[in-house]
C-alpha cells in the first residue's frame, strides 16, 4: 500500500471501504457457501463517494483510497517510514550549483579575479593548500567538479502585469550581458555551500554582486522593478538539487502499455498545466526541468533548495499515451466539445482510470459502489484478493450492521464502541493515533472572521475537553496546531486555548461586540450570526456542530448549522470558499509542509487554503521549512510557525483522534516461503499509522486459523 505525503480531506475520522446495490445482501457465511468467490473479494465501506479518480486532480480521501489501488508512484515509505522504490528501483540525489563572477569584488589575498583565478583558488582550498575551518572543508569535500561557463549575451522577456488585475500586461525586454559563471557539481545537496565559499572568496562576494550593472531593461518602470528583474535573470548564486531516478523495467499499465520515463515527465507537465487546475501545483513548482535521459532514467532538476523534493514522487503516475494532447483532442471531438477548451478535467479518464497499480478499475456507480479487479500482471505480483469492492454507505449504523452480518469486511469502530469490541473473540482489533486532526475553519475573507480576536473568542467558547470525553469517549487528545503530533515538528510548548466563555466575551467586547437586551451580541446594529457546516453521515462531526453551536449561543452568537452531502460539501462549498465556518479534518503525511494549506498564495478556488489565512511571517517560515535540509533548524522553524498559527487561530484546533478498526479474524496475510510453502501470518499495524500496509497479501480463509484464536 502506498503511503502518500499529500494532504487530503477526510470524510470520516477513520476511512474504511465498498459494493452495494440497495437490496438485501446475504451474510458472509451464506455468500461463501453458495459462492466460493466471496473468499476472494474484499468489501469495504465509506460514507462518501469518490470525486475524481485522477491523482493529479483529486484532493479528497475517498478518491485517494481508490487511486492508491489503481495507480503507482515512483516511491513510497516502508513499514519503518523509510523511502523505498516502487516504479523507481533506485535514485541518486546530488546538486549542481552556480555563481557568477563578481568582477568588482576584492578576494582576500588575491584582489579582483577572473573566472580562471577563482577556479584555481577553489581547487587550492580543496587540495588543503589553504587554511579552512572543518565546516568549510566539509563543503569543499562535496565538490566533485568545477568548470567555467563563459560570459554571454542574451535577451529575456518578462510580462509587466497591470496593477490589481490578472490581465496580461505589456512585455518587458531585458538585454543581459552575463559575466562568466562557475559551475560546481556536488555529490550532496549542501545548503551552506555559498555561505562557506564566501569565507574563501570574501565576506560579501555574493551579496555585493550588482546584477543591474549587467542588464538593460526597456521602458521606464522604475529602479526598484529593474533591480528585481535583474536579480531574477542574474541571481548571484543558484542551487539546483537533482534527483536521478532509475525506473523499473517491464512495468505494464492496465491496458498493456509499458511504463517508461515519458510517463513521469508527462505526469509532471499535467500537474503544472494551468488548464488542469491541479491542487498539487505547489509541490512541483520548485521543479526546473524533468528530463527523459532514456526510457528507464529520468532526471529531475530543481530551481532552488527543496528539502521535501523526494517525498513528492509518491504521486501516482499517469499514462501519457492516453492523456496527451493528441488523445485529449481526439476525445473532445468524439464528445462534440471544443478541443481548444477541453482539458484533462473533462476527460472520461477521471471515471475510468488506467494506472499500473495492483488493481484494475472495472465499474463506478455513483453513490453506490466502485469495483476494482486484481491486476494479474502487477509488477510485484498480483494481490491475493481477486476483487476490491468499495461501497458507499452514508449511514454509520448501517455500516456497523453490515459488518456484523459479514457483508462488509472491515469497520471503523466508533469511539463509544471501542471498549466493547476490542476484546470480541470474533474480530481482530487495530488502533493508533491518527496522522491528522479535526478542526473548525473560519472563512477569514468574511467579517467578523477577519478579526483575530473574534476567532480566538470563538475558540475559547468551545469546551473541547467535553468533546473528547463525551463524543470521542476519551479516544482522542487536544491539539494546538497543524503538525502531526507524533513528530518533533509539533510544538508541545503551545498550550491549548482554554475554555473560558467570560474571557471570550471580553475579547468580543474589545472587538466592538455588545450584548443586546435580548442577549444577542451586536455591532453597528447587526447581530453576530453565521452558519456552521459540515458533511452529513459523520456522527462525530454532527456532535461537534451541536456542541460548538451551544457554546457560541451561550455567549450570545446566533449560530445555524447545516449538514451537506459529501460531494456537495466539498465541490460547492469548500472548493469555492462559500461558507462562514466549517468542521473538517486533515489526513497528513509526516513531512512538515504547510504550503498548500496555509501559504497566502494558495487561497484561490480549488486550492487548499480555503479559509484564506494570510500572514507574512508564516509565509516566510513555510518557505524556509521547504528549503531547510538541517533537521534541527527545520524543527525550529516549525515550532515558530506552529506558534504563529496557534496565535492567529484560522482554525479552532480541536483534537487528534485515535483510529480504531476491527476486522474478521479469518482475514490474514498469505505468503509463500522460499520452499514454495504457503504461510499465514497475523496482520499487525506498522509505523505508517495503518494496518493495511500489507493489503496485497491479505486473504480471507474459510475458518479462523489457530494462531488467530490464540490471540
Q: Say whether both 592 and 461 belong to one domain.
A: yes
pLDDT of residue 709 exceeding 80: no
Count of alpha carbons within 13 angstroms of residue 81, beta-carbon side: 12
pLDDT digits (tens, 9 = 90+) for 487-509: 899 999 999 999 999 999 999 99
For residue 189, is it within any domain? yes
Show the beta-strand stretches assigned E in 49-131.
75-77, 83-85, 88-100
C-alpha cell, 393: 454507505
pLDDT of residue 32 exceeding 70: no
C-alpha cell, 607: 486550492
Of 64-73, 567-576, 638-647, which range is least confident?
A: 567-576
pLDDT of residue 16 exceeding 80: no
Q: Say whether both 445 and 591 belong to one domain.
A: yes
pLDDT digits (tens, 9 = 90+) for 153-172: 999 887 766 444 445 567 88
Determine the structural domain holding residue 697 and report its residue range. 8-82+325-330+347-433+660-710
pLDDT digits (tens, 9 = 90+) for 401-441: 998 888 999 887 777 777 777 777 888 888 877 888 999 99
Residue 226 is predicted with a pLDDT of: 85
CB-based contacts of 60: which residues, under 8 Å, 6+ apart? 8, 9, 11, 48, 50, 51, 566, 570
Of 10-24, 94-108, 125-139, which range is least confident?
A: 10-24
Residue 412 is predicted with a pLDDT of: 78
Element (H, E) at 637: helix 631-648
Q: Say whether both 500 and 637 belong to one domain.
A: yes
pLDDT digits (tens, 9 = 90+) for 346-361: 999 999 999 999 999 9
The terminus-to-terminus CA distance of the chain in angstroms comes to 25
Residue 567 is predicted with a pLDDT of: 83
For residue 298, is it within any domain? no
Instruction: Describe the crossing of helices 452-460 and 631-648 by its angle, rounded to 10 degrees.
Output: 90
Query: In angstroms, what is the C-alpha Rg of the chain?
Result: 28
Q: Say whether both 540 and 551 belong to one domain.
A: yes
**Averaged pLDDT for residues 581-609:** 91
pLDDT of residue 340 exceeding 60: yes
Q: Say whether both 366 and 472 belong to one domain.
A: no
pLDDT digits (tens, 9 = 90+) for 275-327: 999 989 989 999 999 999 999 999 999 999 999 999 999 999 999 999 999 99
CB-based contacts of 662: which residues, under 8 Å, 6+ apart? 403, 410, 411, 413, 421, 422, 424, 427, 428, 429, 430
Of 206-215, 350-359, 427-436, 519-528, which range is least confident?
A: 427-436
For residue 499, is it within any domain? yes
- The pairing of strands 558-564 and 529-535 is parallel
- Residue 444: name the closest of 452, 432, 436 by CA: 452
For residue 701, is it within any domain? yes
Cα–Cα distance for residue pair 660/402, rounded to 1 Å: 17
CATH number at residue 410: 3.40.190.10
The answer to whether the CB of 46 falls within 8 A of the CB of 395 is no
Grid-cell match 587540495, residue found? 127
Q: Collapse the DSSP code of 578 into the 3-class scheme (helix H, G, I; strand E, B; otherwise coil) and give the result.
A: coil
- Dihedral of alpha carbons 418, 422, 427, 433, sign: positive
- The pairing of strands 387-392 and 41-46 is parallel
Largest CA distance in the chain: 90
Grid-cell match 455567549, residue found? 555
C-alpha cell, 535: 458533511
Cα–Cα distance for residue pair 560/565, rounded to 1 Å: 17
Q: Tell me the pLDDT band of 61, cut-offs 50, 70 and 90.
A: confident
CATH number at residue 487: 3.10.105.10
CB-based contacts of 630: which residues, under 8 Å, 6+ apart? 191
Q: Say whether both 419 and 443 belong to one domain.
A: no
DSSP letter string, 361-410: EEEEETTTEEEEEE-TT-TT---S-SEEEEEE---HHHHHHHHHHTSSSE
Count up the domains in the chain and report the number.
3
Q: Say whether both 522 and 624 belong to one domain.
A: yes
C-alpha cell, 109: 589575498
Q: What percent of the chain has pLDDT over 90?
A: 69
Residue 143 is predicted with a pLDDT of: 96
What is the chain's mean pLDDT, rounded? 89
Q: What angle do CA 492, 498, 504 make, to 5 degrees?
A: 140
Q: Tell me the pLDDT band of 27, cut-offs 50, 70 and 90.
A: low
Cα–Cα distance for residue pair 61/397, rounded to 1 Å: 21
Of 58-72, 405-419, 605-619, which range is least confident?
A: 405-419
CB-based contacts of 568: which residues, under 8 Å, 6+ apart? none
For residue 522, is it within any domain? yes
Q: Say whether both 25 and 38 belong to one domain.
A: yes
Q: Say whether both 544 and 420 belong to one domain.
A: no
Cα–Cα distance for residue pair 107/259, rounded to 1 Å: 52
Q: Say whether both 195 and 131 belong to one domain.
A: yes
- Dihedral of alpha carbons 465, 599, 343, 301, sign: negative
Boundary (domain end) residue, out of 194, 217, 241: 241
C-alpha cell, 67: 487511486
CB-based contacts of 413: which residues, under 8 Å, 6+ apart? 14, 421, 422, 429, 660, 661, 662
CB-based contacts of 214: which residues, under 8 Å, 6+ apart? 176, 177, 178, 179, 230, 234
For residue 311, is it within any domain? no
Better pLDDT: 684 or 414: 684
Cα–Cα distance for residue pair 408/447, rounded to 1 Å: 46
**Averaged pLDDT for residues 53-72:** 93
Q: Tell me the pLDDT band of 615, cut-offs 50, 70 and 90.
A: very high
Q: What angle do CA 655, 552, 659 make, to 5 degrees?
A: 15
**Alpha-carbon separation of residue 237 from 210, 213, 506, 632, 634 (angstroms):** 12, 16, 52, 24, 22
pLDDT of residue 658 exceeding 80: yes
Q: Tell me the pLDDT band of 11, cut-offs 50, 70 and 90.
A: very low
Boundary (domain end) residue, out of 635, 659, 683: 659
Q: What angle do CA 575, 576, 579 make, to 5 degrees?
A: 100
Residue 298 is predicted with a pLDDT of: 98
pLDDT of residue 42 exceeding 80: yes
Q: What are phi and psi of 543, to 5 degrees?
A: -70, -40
Q: Tell me the pLDDT band of 130, cut-offs 50, 70 and 90.
A: confident
Q: Say whether both 504 and 550 belong to one domain.
A: yes
For residue 512, is it within any domain? yes
**Alpha-carbon separation of residue 701 from 18, 383, 400, 658, 698 (angstroms):** 20, 15, 22, 29, 10
Q: Say whether both 400 and 522 belong to one domain.
A: no
pLDDT of residue 523 exceeding 70: yes
Residue 711 is predicted with a pLDDT of: 53
The answer to whether the CB of 533 falls within 8 A of the CB of 539 is no
Grid-cell match 478579526, residue found? 451
The answer to whether the CB of 488 falls within 8 A of the CB of 651 is no
- Residue 140: name the closest of 122, 155, 120 by CA: 122
Count of alpha carbons within 13 angstroms of residue 383, beta-carbon side: 27
Of 116-130, 364-378, 609-623, which range is least confident?
A: 116-130
For residue 263, is it within any domain? no
Q: Collapse the DSSP code of 539 into the 3-class scheme (helix H, G, I; strand E, B; otherwise coil) and give the result.
A: helix
Boundary (domain end) residue, out of 659, 675, 695: 659
Q: Tell me the pLDDT band of 24, cut-offs 50, 70 and 90.
A: very low
The answer to whether the CB of 582 falls within 8 A of the CB of 534 is yes
pLDDT digits (tens, 9 = 90+) for 183-205: 999 999 999 999 999 999 998 99
Cα–Cα distance for residue pair 399/72, rounded to 1 Å: 29
Amino acid at each position: 500500500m502506498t503511503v502518500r505525503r499529500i494532504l487530503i480531506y477526510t470524510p470520516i475520522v477513520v476511512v474504511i471501504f465498498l459494493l452495494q446495490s440497495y437490496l438485501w445482501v446475504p451474510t458472509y457465511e451464506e455468500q461463501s457457501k453458495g459462492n466460493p468467490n466471496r473468499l476472494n473479494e474484499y468489501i469495504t465501506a465509506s460514507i462518501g463517494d469518490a470525486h475524481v479518480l485522477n491523482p493529479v486532480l483529486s484532493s479528497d480521501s475517498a478518491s485517494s483510497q481508490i487511486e492508491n489501488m489503481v495507480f503507482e508512484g515512483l516511491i513510497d515509505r516502508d513499514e519503518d517510514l523509510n523511502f523505498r522504490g516502487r516504479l523507481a528501483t533506485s535514485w541518486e540525489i546530488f546538486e549542481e550549483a552556480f555563481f557568477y563572477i563578481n568582477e568588482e569584488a576584492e578576494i582576500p589575498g588575491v584582489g579582483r579575479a577572473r573566472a580562471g583565478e577563482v577556479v584555481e583558488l577553489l581547487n587550492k582550498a580543496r587540495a588543503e593548500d589553504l587554511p579552512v575551518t572543518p565546516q568549510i572543508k566539509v563543503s569543499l569535500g562535496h565538490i566533485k567538479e568545477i568548470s567555467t561557463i563563459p560570459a554571454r549575451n542574451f535577451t529575456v522577456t518578462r510580462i509587466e502585469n497591470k496593477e490589481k488585475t490578472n490581465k496580461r500586461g505589456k512585455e518587458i525586454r531585458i538585454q543581459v550581458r552575463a559575466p562568466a559563471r562557475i559551475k560546481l557539481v556536488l555529490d550532496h545537496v549542501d545548503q551552506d555551500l555559498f555561505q562557506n565559499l564566501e569565507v574563501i572568496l570574501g565576506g560579501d562576494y555574493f551579496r555585493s554582486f550588482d546584477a543591474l550593472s549587467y542588464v538593460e531593461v526597456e521602458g521606464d518602470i522604475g529602479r526598484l522593478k529593474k533591480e528585481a528583474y535583474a536579480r531574477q535573470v542574474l541571481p548571484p548564486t543558484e542551487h539546483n538539487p537533482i534527483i536521478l531516478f532509475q525506473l523499473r523495467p517491464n512495468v505494464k499499465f492496465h491496458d498493456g502499455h509499458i511504463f517508461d520515463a515519458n510517463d513521469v515527465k508527462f505526469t509532471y507537465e499535467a500537474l503544472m498545466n494551468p488548464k488542469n487546475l491541479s491542487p498539487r501545483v505547489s509541490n512541483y513548482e520548485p521543479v526546473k526541468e524533468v528530463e527523459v535521459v532514456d526510457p528507464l532514467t529520468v532526471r529531475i532538476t530543481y530551481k532552488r533548495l527543496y528539502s521535501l523534493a523526494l517525498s513528492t514522487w509518491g504521486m501516482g503516475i499517469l499514462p501519457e499515451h492516453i492523456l496527451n494532447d493528441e488523445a485529449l483532442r481526439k476525445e473532445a471531438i468524439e464528445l462534440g466539445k471544443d478541443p481548444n477548451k477541453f482539458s484533462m478535467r473533462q476527460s472520461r479518464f477521471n471515471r475510468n482510470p488506467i494506472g499500473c497499480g495492483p488493481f484494475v478499475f472495472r465499474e463506478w456507480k455513483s453513490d453506490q459502489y466502485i469495483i476494482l479487479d486484481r491486476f494479474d500482471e502487477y509488477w510485484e505480483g498480483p494481490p491475493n484478493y481477486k476483487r476490491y469492492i468499495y461501497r458507499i454507505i452514508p449511514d454509520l449504523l448501517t455500516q456497523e450492521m453490515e459488518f456484523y452480518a459479514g457483508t462488509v469486511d472491515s469497520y471503523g469502530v466508533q469511539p463509544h464502541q471501542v471498549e466493547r469490541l476490542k476484546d470480541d473473540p470474533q474480530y481482530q482489533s487495530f488502533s493508533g493515533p491518527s496522522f491528522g486532526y479535526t478542526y473548525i475553519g473560519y472563512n477569514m475573507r468574511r467579517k467578523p472572521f477577519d478579526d483575530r480576536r473574534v476567532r480566538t473568542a470563538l475558540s475559547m467558547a468551545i469546551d473541547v475537553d467535553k468533546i473528547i470525553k463525551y463524543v470521542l469517549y476519551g479516544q482522542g487528545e487536544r491539539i494546538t496546531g497543524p503538525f502531526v503530533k507524533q513528530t518533533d515538528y509539533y510544538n508541545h510548548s503551545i498550550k491549548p486555548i482554554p475554555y473560558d466563555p467570560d474571557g471570550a466575551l471580553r475579547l468580543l467586547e474589545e472587538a466592538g461586540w455588545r450584548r443586546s437586551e435580548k442577549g444577542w451580541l451586536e455591532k453597528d446594529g447587526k447581530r453576530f450570526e453565521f452558519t456552521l457546516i459540515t458533511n452529513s453521515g459523520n456522527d462525530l462531526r454532527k456532535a461537534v456542530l451541536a456542541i460548538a453551536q451551544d457554546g457560541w449561543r451561550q455567549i450570545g452568537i446566533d449560530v445555524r448549522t447545516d449538514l451537506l452531502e459529501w460531494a456537495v460539501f466539498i465541490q460547492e462549498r469548500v472548493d469555492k470558499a462559500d461558507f462562514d465556518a466549517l468542521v473538517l479534518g486533515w489526513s497528513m503525511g509526516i513531512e512538515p509542509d504547510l504550503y498548500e494549506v496555509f501559504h497566502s498564495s494558495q487561497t484561490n478556488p480549488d486550492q487548499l487554503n480555503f479559509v484564506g489565512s494570510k500572514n507574512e511571517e508564516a509565509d516566510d517560515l513555510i518557505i524556509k521549512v521547504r528549503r531547510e535540509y538541517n533537521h534541527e533548524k527545520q524543527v525550529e522553524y516549525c515550532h515558530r510557525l506552529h506558534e504563529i498559527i496557534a496565535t492567529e487561530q484560522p482554525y479552532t484546533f480541536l483534537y487528534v483522534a485515535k483510529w480504531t478498526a476491527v476486522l474478521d479474524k479469518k482475514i490474514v496475510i498469505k505468503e509463500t516461503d522460499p520452499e514454495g510453502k504457503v504461510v499465514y501470518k497475523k496482520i499487525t499495524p506498522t509505523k505508517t499509522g495503518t494496518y493495511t500496509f500489507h493489503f496485497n497479501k491479505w486473504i480471507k480463509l474459510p475458518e479462523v486459523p489457530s494462531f488467530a484464536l490464540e490471540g
